[in-house]
Amino acid sequence: QGELPGGLEVAIKRLSTCSVQGLMEFKTEIQLIAKLQHTNLVRLLGCCLQAEEKMLIYEYMHNKSLDCFIFDSAKGAILKWERRFRIIDGIAQGLLYMHKHSRLRVIHRDLKASNILLDRDMNPKISDFGLARIFCSNVTEANTTRVVGTHGYIAPEYASEGLFSTKSDVFSFGVLLLEIISGKRTAGFYQYGKFFNLTGYAYQLWQEAKWHEMVDQVLGVDYPVTEVMKCVQVALLCVQDSADDRPGMSDVVAMLSGEGLTLPEPRQPAYFNVRLSSLPESNSSFGESSYISNVALTDEDGR
């Protein structure tokens, strides 16, 4: 945290000399944020690239990041459902702008709770564009041999084949939506019944008409059942195994904001078949290598 001569509070991101984020990612982040202007994207105020110093100066976010709240039972109580829904809608609006309405078509590739910053009024702003990629308007997907991202948020076609598209971000958004509803982290941290991931657990509860069992306990019973149920269904539509089955962000925004819409029934989510009984005994303790390998993954902490 810092302050400019005029009194403006700023956040300064300084890359360490041993950071895994290289010069290319640093420049990508500068170029993208400078060109993207939306109320739900973090605003870049300046940068420094001199000698060994690499620094970015952002608008200051007084409430840090979303993961500080939804994964903390005490702070999570501050996020009543109405506020959580505003955060969900804001993230969706930011992604829709990146995918469709900005001058550039941008795929974030590392959407997660710690990359959603919250301002003084708890408005969400998508941050950390170091891994983002720019698409031409007539290109829908690309391929890479270097898969990057965070365990639990990576779409299956990206993890296994290196194929990424706007639907990769949609998958990550679906995982994030389930986390906001449940107050629990996705794969890599907990065991959910017979599942090693939140998506499989949520889908089983949905099939058994027990989706309410995954709602964050700090919300109590005082939440709009129809709206929360709709959000669970939208999340499950976003994490479907096939990218073709997932909605685009324009459809997601319409489903979230619309009333009385009949939503399609979600199909099986990615990694649904990875359960305790299907893993070798040596892999019985839950770790990040459980079902994704040969992937360059970042952890939950910032780069």
Domains of the chain, start order: 2-59 (3.30.200.20), 64-276 (1.10.510.10)
Which pLDDT score, from 0 to 100, does residue 193 have? 66
pLDDT, one tens digit for every residue, the chain (303 residues): 999 999 999 999 888 776 666 777 788 778 778 888 899 999 989 888 888 788 889 999 999 999 999 999 899 999 999 999 999 999 999 999 999 998 888 999 999 999 999 999 999 999 988 788 887 555 555 566 567 778 889 999 988 888 889 999 999 999 999 999 999 998 654 566 677 788 988 999 999 999 999 999 999 988 999 999 999 999 999 999 999 999 999 999 999 998 878 899 999 998 776 555 544 443 433 333 333 334 444 555 544
Whose structure tokens read 């009949």?
262
CB 200 within 8 A of CB 192: yes
Query: What does DSSP say about strands 163-165 and 141-143: parallel, antiparallel, or unpaired?
Result: antiparallel
pTM for the model stands at 0.85
Question: Which residues participate in catalysis according to the annotation?
Answer: 110
Query: What does DSSP say about strands 105-107 and 9-14: parallel, antiparallel, or unpaired?
Result: unpaired
Using alpha carbons, list the distances in angstroms from residue 115 to 124, 126, 235: 10, 6, 18
Using alpha carbons, list the distances in angstroms from residue 105 to 41, 96, 191: 14, 10, 36
